């Protein structure tokens, strides 16, 4: 376990997580366009339906989900140790532990959804997506709030607080914008028929993007996904602060 918490291992895990979560939708989108699908703007999971882009979607997000959960645990344990050594109150320790649960839930959801195309299991796919979106935003909020408190104990945390907070705000905007556009399209109904109607317009695996509200919702989803990648990337300089403190304690 200690080897998994070393600075070099945690940094490499973070780098791999950022790379996979950034490159997977980009490469998948390039393949989506190469298959002749509409460019503006698919939901990320729309690209799971065509064969070639579906392969990169499944491979990238399956691995990305595992790495996301792993990173969440690594950072959570390191922060837990730092907070304990700094004798911070139990409420902040509990907040950090709750953030770990949110990260693991998002990681599991991401891994699972990579094997659940929405055209085959729409209801389950939506549940998985909700776990990913809510888990990610809850994690972002918790770690940002905890960073603010940590910055009062150690100046090194102050350097990442502003960008992390800004990216977290963007993530919330992405989530709220996506939900609002989807609800406007479905009419605040839990009936999935409005979304299932899109299956009638499949063209060799390409989903028709002729609904402006859904295209706008998809754009907000891309904003949310990009924001989460950027938030994770802000932990790269923080790892040294966390591991240095633990090393000095030993």
Sign of the Cα torsion 44, 47, 52, 55 reads: positive
For the chain, give the mean pLDDT.
92
Tens digit of pLDDT for each residue in 33-85?
999 999 989 999 999 999 999 999 999 999 999 999 999 999 999 999 999 99
Please tell me the predicted confidence (pLDDT) of residue 112: 98
Distance (Å) of CA 180 to CA 141, 185, 214? 20, 9, 10
Tens digit of pLDDT for each residue in 167-201?
999 999 999 999 999 988 887 666 665 666 766 66
Please tell me the predicted confidence (pLDDT) of residue 244: 79
207 pLDDT band, cuts 50/70/90, is confident
Is the pLDDT score of 250 beyond 50? no
Please tell me the predicted confidence (pLDDT) of residue 241: 92
């Amino acid at each position: 376990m200690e080897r998994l918490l070393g600075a070099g291992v945690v940094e490499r895990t973070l780098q791999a997580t950022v790379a996979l979560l950034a490159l997977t939708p980009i490469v998948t989108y390039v393949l989506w366009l190469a298959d002749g699908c509409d460019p503006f703007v698919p939901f990320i999971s729309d690209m799971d339906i065509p064969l070639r882009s579906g392969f990169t979607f499944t491979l990238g997000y399956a691995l990305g989900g595992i790495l996301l959960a792993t990173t969440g645990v690594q950072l959570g344990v390191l922060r837990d140790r730092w907070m304990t050594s700094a004798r911070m109150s139990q409420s902040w320790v509990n907040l950090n532990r709750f953030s770990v649960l949110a990260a693991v839930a998002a990681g599991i959801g991401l891994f699972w959804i990579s094997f659940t195309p929405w055209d085959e299991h729409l209801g389950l796919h939506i549940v998985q997506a909700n776990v990913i979106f809510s888990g990610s935003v809850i994690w972002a909020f918790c770690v940002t709030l905890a960073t603010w408190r940590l910055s009062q104990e150690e100046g090194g945390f102050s350097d990442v607080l502003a960008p992390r907070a800004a990216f977290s705000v963007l993530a919330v905007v992405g989530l709220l914008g996506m939900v609002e556009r989807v609800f406007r399209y479905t009419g605040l109904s839990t009936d999935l028929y409005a979304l299932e109607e899109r299956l009638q317009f499949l063209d060799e695996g390409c989903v028709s993007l002729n609904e402006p509200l859904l295209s706008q919702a998809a754009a907000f989803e891309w904003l949310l996904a990009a924001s989460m990648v950027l938030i994770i990337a802000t932990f790269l300089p923080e790892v040294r602060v966390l591991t240095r403190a633990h090393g000095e304690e030993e």
